[in-house]
Amino acid sequence: MFIEDGTGSGNSAKVTDENLLKTLAITRSLENHANQDEGQAYNALFAVNPDGAGDCIFYLKNTNDTDLIIESVWWQTSAAEEVYYKLGDIGVPVLTNGSAITPVNLNAGSGNAADCTCYSNTADGATDITGLSGGITIQSLWLTSAQSTLFNCEADIIIPKNQVFTIYCVGGDTLLRGTLLLHYHD
């Protein structure tokens, strides 16, 4: 049995007696599609030395109509530290210490810029983002001393428009470097 494409081109696809479509396909990740075809994949690089215990060290708010998807975070630490990720913090972020971060487009041929507000630091500087409250903890990570590791967000973290993702440290006063991989896709 065959299915016609419905446009009159004469193209068709074969269907088995179990209603399975027979295909010859090349598959690739959603991140690759967002990067290569849409030019909408980015890295947000940060390097912080938190002011103290419990500090917010990374803030990301999606200002785009399209969902922002966090795929993974690459971590490097100078000493043992616990960090946790939160969704839904509210308030006006205040950079007690830190700076605005501009995520870098991963497609050299794309002129797109990430449509978000992102704060942290970029040079092992003191970082504390205050003015936030609420939110829910979605992940807690224990980073061992002098470690470099990738944490893949298995189900991805989806940030709709005007929603917030934050990272906090538990102990503080540890050099933490990270690369957050994000892309936009509906």
DSSP line for 27-61: ---HHHHHHHTT--EEEEEEEEEESSTT-EEEEEE
Q: Give the N- to C-terminal CA distance of the chain in Å, as an integer.
A: 33
Measured distance CA(59)–CA(151) in Å, rounded: 18
**In this structure, is residue 66 part of a structural domain?**
yes
pLDDT at 5 over 90: no
**In this structure, is residue 58 part of a structural domain?**
yes
**In this structure, is residue 129 part of a structural domain?**
yes
147-175 tens-digit pLDDT = 899 999 999 999 999 999 999 999 987 89
What is the reported pLDDT for 172? 84
**In this structure, is residue 144 part of a structural domain?**
yes
**In this structure, is residue 8 part of a structural domain?**
no
70-96 tens-digit pLDDT = 999 999 999 999 999 999 999 999 998
CATH number of domain containing 174: 2.60.120
**In this structure, is residue 34 part of a structural domain?**
yes
Per the structure, the count of domains in the chain is: 1
CB 177 within 8 Å of CB 78: no
- CA-derived radius of gyration, the chain: 21
Measured distance CA(43)–CA(131) in Å, rounded: 25
Question: Quick count: other Cβ atoms within 10 Å of Cβ 116?
Answer: 22
**In this structure, is residue 177 part of a structural domain?**
yes
pTM: 0.88
99-151 tens-digit pLDDT = 999 999 999 999 999 999 999 998 888 889 999 999 999 999 999 888 899 99
**In this structure, is residue 24 part of a structural domain?**
no
56-76 tens-digit pLDDT = 999 999 999 999 999 999 999
CA neighbor of 142 nearest in space, from 55, 57, 80: 80
Q: What type of residue is 90?
A: I
What is the reported pLDDT for 25? 80
Tell me whether residue 168 is exposed, middle or buried, using C-beta atoms within 10 angstroms of its C-beta: 0 to 12, 13 to 18, 19 or more.
buried
CA neighbor of 168 nearest in space, from 72, 51, 68: 51
pLDDT at 17 over 70: yes
Match 């205040």 to its residue by tokens. 94
Query: 53 lies in which domain range?
Result: 30-184
Q: Which two tokens stand for residue 45?
A: 């690089």
In this prediction, residue 50 has a pLDDT band, given cuts at 50, 70 and 90, of confident
| Bridge partner list, 14 | 2
Q: What is the mean pLDDT of residues 174-183?
A: 95
pLDDT at 6 over 70: no
